[in-house]
Structure 1
Amino acid sequence: MIDFTSTRLLDELQNLRLLPVVAEEGSFAGAARRLNCAASVIMRSIESLEQAIGQSLLERHAAGVRLSSAGELVRARAVRIEAEIDLAAELFQSAERVSPSLHTLRHVLGNGARQRLVLELVRQGSARAAADGLGMTQPGISMALGRLERTLGAPLFERTRRGLRPSDQCVSLLKHINRIEAELRALCDELDSAAGDIAGTVVLGLLTVARLHLVPAAVIQVRRAHPRVKIRTMTLPFDRMLSALADGRIDLVVGVAGSAIEESGLRVTVLGGDELGIFLRSGHPLLAGPCPSLGQLSHADWIMPRREALSRRLIESCFAAADMAVPEAAVESTDTEFIRQLVLCSDMLAFASPQQFAFELRNGSVARLPIPLGGTARETALLERNEALPSPAVSLIRAAICEQADIWAGQPEL
């Protein structure tokens, strides 16, 4: 198992950026000529990177150097990081009326210490707390931030009574810094996996339906075969979930696809679909006679999804298409366990996905009223960044989720 972290690699970022140049030139001397510096400087930089990683990245021979297998992994990620730095510099320069040259911006944004400074200030919200995290003094943090802002020609933080608040320029840069950190996390996992069984941490963003059956089954499948793969889940508001996916803080998102996803530029893999229904406990008085119409249920005690949820918008569209008023909600919630308990223990009716009551529908404790809700069909999808290069652990989880989706699709309809 590796004994370094993405934070340690961030400290080596400037050295890591040299590796593709050395590989292309085939020698330290060639890289030195290209970069207009001493070959000994480049050699020491690569040796520092190798010591941090604990593996040899270059094979030395009489004609020069060539990449080792570990070096190939590092080079691939270094090239992607360089492209992210270039993009960040170009976008920053185009957004600012007065800014330094692209060369200066690339140098500043490609400095791991400066990236760590920005990340820690954003996470901590104050120079004092960031100083503790970085092992610096508060005046040292303030001076370093001041120098960085003067070099960039733009403020990165607004000083408020409650602490530091990221400026628009900082938020823009932060997206690229997070993506660079994601590349370094993936590199750590790749190097660890190359030494034995696949390893690494996968960050999953889960929307309501994904938490029920699909993703848990996929996680169990992967963990049984690859116990060194670890999972972290995040549950955020929809827009923040997509933002975290776009900047690399989340590897994969599983949930219900909607128009916002289609317009986000993300890679979308449809896993399946369902149609919303009306659910009630077995033994409910409404099951004793003929099935009522939707209009006859207008005064029932309804459990409705929250107003910002896609399923709520689908329900409202369904009623609008039928020229009917949307019933008043007695309870608004997207908490699956809470909704399940309300249905099982009361005469409330719930607009919900059949997946939320899969177990209860099979054991007969919950029933679905045979009332069609036109226009409420939804697709469950797997979301990824288009340009992402997944680590081995992420690829494993992705494949398992797709496999479990196929298994789920083959089961009898609820």
Structure 2
Amino acid sequence: MMQSEDLNLRHLFAAVTTSKSDSISNASESLHISQPALTHAIHKLEGLLGQALFVRSNRGIQTTPAGRLFLSHVQDGLGILAAAAQKLRQSERLAPLITPERQISNTQIRAFLAVLRTGGYSLAARSLNFSQPSIYRAVQELQFVLGVPLFASDGTLMRAPDGVQHFADQIRLALASIQSGIDELNAIDKPGTGRICVGSLPLARSALLPNVLASFGNTHPRVAITVVEGQFAELVSSLRDGSIDMFFGALRRDIELPDLRQQALFMDELYVVGRSGHPLAGKTPTPVELTAYPWIVPMAHSPMRSIWEDFLSRGNAPFPAQQVECGSVLLARGLMCNGDWLGLMSRHQFALEHQYNVLKHIGPPLPDSDRPIGVTMRRTWRPTLLQKAFLDLAEEISKSISRADGQDTVRAEKTRSVQQVLSTCH
């Protein structure tokens, strides 16, 4: 399968420039190359992609529908690459480059990322099946173009400073954007195929994603879907470098995320949960009575942890003497089923156990425990048609969850209000 790293960046730049022109002659003049050279570059790119990007006629050159779809993603990717190069130079107080995306080659990028990943030229060469001198030369060429030192040796490993690490993340994001363009073309050649990579926070694994994945799988059986589980900070990092397309779970109103967009899908509330035979089952205990038992405590700095600590504080309750800090719903269920442990869960997270009388909520939902559940995306992200269909389905299923929870009126309005707050703050 064609990968973004396999495509010549200069050819991609030439194709984007041509798509903005009405003739090969105008494009070649803008690029300062001959018309035969430009025509050869476009033909080679089209041959690799297996799709015509342009049609020629006596009226000039027009971009095909497939070409427009592909090149829109390519233009995004080249723009990310150019901005990253300029930012890296700016950090060293260097003057901006003229079209850096045209001066950088895919060989240089592959070598640079391999050295960063492996920590050395020898291992990088082995991982790419290149010679060590060729890897070293490619990295030096990239360093010369950027005018910024990329690595320093600590005696055993080649290490990159923080600014270069950020540059590498942006390169990965640029390649992911170009890959989306390739995926769009593949979907034209083979309808119903493609790939989606989704991140998931704990709640989404039980309340939302299983339904979305099952329904989407029924209508798109040949689409490869990868689900990456992680904590919020991990998924944000993966989102920013293009490793995942989007992630689902509790949204964060307490963190500035200027480059990301959070979209609320439905509201959720939290219950204290324990085994069905727990001494407090069927009661409405006070916070002090609850903390007399061992607790599975939400992870520090998470929205759930803040809700739990506020609940204890308002009830003048001490922290439980026995506690396990844990973000795993599976581990929490195991502890609750094997003792008098208590924890916080959305009712979606223990719905099956509640149905079979294994776990029960203890008392009513925690006051002020409403949380927006939704999807987080890059603000400038251009989803493929397949990814857009996945998002649309997630929105539709979220509406069903809201209806099932009786959220059509009050909570639906809260969801809209939260979305307004998120869009204003970020």
TM-score (norm 2): 0.88
- The yes-or-no answer on 1:382 pairing with 2:382 is no
> 1:126 corresponds to which residue?
120
Identify the residue that residue 320 of structure 1 maps to in structure 2. Answer: 313
- 1:8 aligns to what? 6
The amino acid of 1:8's aligned partner reads D
Aligned length: 407
CA shift in 2, pair 1:80/1:64, >3 Å: same
Letter matched to residue 20 of structure 2? E
Number of the residue aligned with 2:252: 258
Q: Which runs of 5+ in 2 are unaligned?
A: 408-426
Matches within 5 A, 1:256-295: 256-261=250-255, 263-287=257-281, 291-295=284-288
Q: CA deviation at 1:46?
A: 0.7
Contact 2:212 2:394 in 1 (8 A): yes
Single out whichever of 190-199 and 336-345 deviates more from structure 2.
Answer: 190-199
Identical aligned pairs, as a percentage? 26
Check whether the contact 2:204–2:248 (CA below 8 A) recurs between aligned residues: yes
The residue that corresponds to 2:46 in the other structure is: 50
Distance 1:297 1:71 in 2: 62
Matched residue, 1:299: 292
Show the counterpart of 2:348.
355
The equivalent position to 1:79 in structure 2, one of 75, 82, 92, is 75
User: 1:102 corresponds to which residue?
Assistant: 97
Partner of residue 92 from structure 1, selected from 79, 88, 91:
88
Give the deviation of 1:279 after TM superposition: 1.0
Task: Name the SS for the 2:26 alignment partner.
Answer: helix
1:146 paired with 2:132, answer: no
Q: Which range moved further: 155-164 or 392-401?
A: 155-164
Q: Return the alpha-carbon distance in structure 2 between the equivalents of residues 292 and 68 of structure 1.
A: 67
Cα offset, 1:195, TM superposition: 2.5
Residue matched to 2:359? 366
CA spacing shift, 1:275–1:221, aligned 2, 3 Å? same
Tell me the secondary structure at the aligned position of residue 349 of structure 2. helix
Once residues 76 and 212 of structure 1 are traced to their aligned partners in structure 2, the CA distance between those partners, rounded to angstroms, is 35
Cα distance in 2 between the residues matched to 1:22 and 1:371: 63
Cα distance in 1 between the residues matched to 2:292 and 2:189: 63
Asked if the contact 1:205/1:252 (under 8 Å) is kept, the reply is: yes
**CA 1:212–1:372 in 2, change beyond 3 Å: closer, same or farther?**
closer
Task: Name the residue aligned to 1:219.
Answer: 213
Given that 2:118 and 2:124 are in contact with CA atoms closer than 8 Å, whether structure 1 keeps it comes out as yes
Contact 2:265-2:375 within 8 A present in 1 as well: yes
Stretch of structure 1 that moved more, 126-135 or 260-269: 260-269
Equivalent of residue 30 in structure 1, options 26, 29, 43: 26
The 1-side partners of 2:95 and 2:146 are apart by 6
Distance in 2, matches of 1:15 and 1:42, equals 8
Q: Which residue identity does 1:103 align to in structure 2?
A: I
Q: Does 2:228 align with 1:244?
A: no
Aligned to 2:412: none
Residue 338 of structure 2 aligns with which residue?
345
Unaligned runs of 5+ in 1: none
SS in 2 for 1:25: coil
For the 8 Å contact 1:6–1:181, the answer to whether it is kept is yes
Give the structure 2 partner of residue 192 of structure 1. 186
- Asked if 1 retains the 8 angstrom alpha-carbon contact of 2:199 and 2:247, the reply is yes
Question: Partners in 2 of 1:174 and 1:220 — Cα distance?
Answer: 35
Which deviates more from structure 2 when the two are superposed, residues 117-126 or residues 36-45? 117-126
| Per-residue deviation, 1:300 | 1.0
Where 2:27 maps in the other structure, the secondary structure is helix
Distance of 1:320 and 1:217 partners within structure 2: 36
Q: Deviation per CA, 1:305-361, whole angstroms, max 9, x where unpaired?
A: 232433122211222233332223432211111111221232222222222211122
- Aligned residue type for 1:307: A
Structure 1 residues 337 and 394, CA, compared in 2 at 3 Å: closer, same or farther? same
Q: Is residue 2:172 matched to residue 1:174?
A: no
Q: Secondary structure at the match of 1:410?
A: helix
Q: Distance in 2 between matches of 1:372 and 1:20?
A: 55
CA separation of 1:309/1:162 partners in 2, compared to 1, >3 Å: closer, same or farther?
farther
Match of 2:14 in 1: 18
